[in-house]
Amino acid sequence: MTTERLNWIKSSYSGSGGSCIEWAPSHASATGVVPVRDSKRPTGPVLLVSTNAFAGLVTLARSTDL
C-alpha cells in the first residue's frame, strides 16, 4: 500500500505534546482498513488495523489516564 497519497489527519488527542499519531479516515471509510502512523516519522512504518480494532484503540485511549 502506498501511503504518500493518503490524506493524513492528526489525532485531536495529540495536543501540543510530543506524542502524536495520524490516521487516514478517507482510506478507512473506503476500505475498512485504518492506516495509523507517528506524525514525527511520516516516512516511517504504518500500522494497518480494521475499523473495529481502531475503535477499540480509541475507546482504550479515552478510558485511560495516559
Q: What is the pLDDT of residues 9-19, one digit of tens each?
A: 987 665 565 66
Contact (CB, 8 A) for 8 and 22: yes
Q: How far apart are CA 44 and CA 17, in angstroms?
A: 19
Global confidence as pTM: 0.78
Q: Quick one: which of 30, 46, 20, 1 has its CA closest to 9?
A: 20
Q: How far apart are CA 23 and CA 21, in angstroms?
A: 7
Q: What is the pLDDT of residues 27-59, one digit of tens each?
A: 999 999 999 999 889 889 999 999 999 999 889
Q: Quick one: which of 11, 2, 4, 6 has its CA closest to 29?
A: 6
What pLDDT was estimated at residue 15?
A: 58
